């Protein structure tokens, strides 16, 4: 059971997070300051740093929560024998969130291009997605459904890159690029090489 103090701490963190995301969508990453987030969240500036080390950490937190959401929705994608279909179902879940949060995704993509530290702070998120894909590939290899001569982490890195590159292209087409269709085509090419 959580204590009142823990609940209050979690609520404050969420309020800071929500304020930052709202401001990032409205003003962009560069146009949003810690002072603006402090004002919007109605907390002291120092309180923000008790919960997040930087603006970049707030973005990384959002991305990390998306990976956690995929894990929580495992029953929606982790069924059947096809590793390829599992990967595509994971992409679909992530793309639902991307489409719903297009303005924020645009800010995230643009800020990560301009600011190396955004990418650095999100590195653990990339590894989370890569490890998820690697686990799926390794499991399929052990069951003889995929060739075992390929390193699962290398193949997973390719799948991860497909996702992020497609997301980047989608944002730069102002959402007009056929995100899921292109992802599926690229994934099919990868799995042609992996299939046993």
CATH of the domain at 121: 1.10.357.10
pLDDT of residue 61: 84
Given pLDDT bands bounded at 50, 70 and 90, which one contains residue 118? low
Residue 125 banded pLDDT, cuts 50, 70, 90: low
Kindly give, in sequence order, each residue whose CB lies less than 8 Å from that of residue 196, ignoring residues fewer than 6 positions away: 144, 145, 146, 147
Tell whether 171 and 75 lie within a shared domain: yes
Same domain flag for 31 and 103: no
Confidence of residue 104 (pLDDT cuts 50, 70, 90): confident
Q: Is the pLDDT at 139 greater than 80, yes or no? A: yes
Pair 160, 124: CB distance under 8 Å = no
- Choosing from 37, 52, 67, the residue where a domain stops is 52
Interacting residues of 51 by C-beta distance below 8 A, sequence separation 6+: 12, 13, 16, 17
Q: What is the CATH number of the domain that holds 21?
A: 1.10.10.60
Number of domains in the chain: 2
103 with 151, same domain? Answer: yes
Residue 27 to residues 4, 6, 19, 44, Cα–Cα distance (Å)? 34, 31, 12, 21
**Mean pLDDT across the chain, nearest whole number?**
89
Mean pLDDT of 51-79: 89
């Amino acid at each position: 059971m959580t204590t009142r103090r823990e609940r209050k701490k979690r609520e404050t963190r969420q309020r800071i997070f929500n304020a930052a995301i709202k401001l990032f969508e409205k003003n962009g990453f560069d146009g949003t300051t810690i002072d603006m987030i402090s004002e919007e969240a109605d907390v002291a500036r120092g309180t923000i740093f008790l919960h997040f080390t930087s603006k970049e950490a707030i973005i990384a937190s959002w991305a990390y929560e998306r990976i956690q959401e995929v894990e929580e929705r495992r029953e929606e994608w982790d069924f059947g024998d096809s590793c390829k279909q599992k990967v595509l179902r994971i992409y679909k879940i992530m793309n639902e969130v991307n489409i719903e949060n297009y303005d924020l995704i645009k800010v995230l993509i643009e800020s990560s291009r301009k600011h190396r530290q955004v990418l650095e702070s999100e590195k653990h998120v990339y590894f989370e997605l890569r490890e998820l894909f690697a686990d799926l590939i390794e499991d399929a290899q052990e069951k003889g459904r995929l060739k075992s001569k390929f390193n699962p982490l290398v193949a997973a890195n390719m799948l991860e890159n497909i996702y992020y590159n497609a997301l980047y292209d989608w944002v730069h087409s102002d959402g007009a690029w056929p995100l899921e269709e292109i992802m599926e085509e690229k994934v099919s090419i990868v799995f042609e090489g992996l299939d046993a």
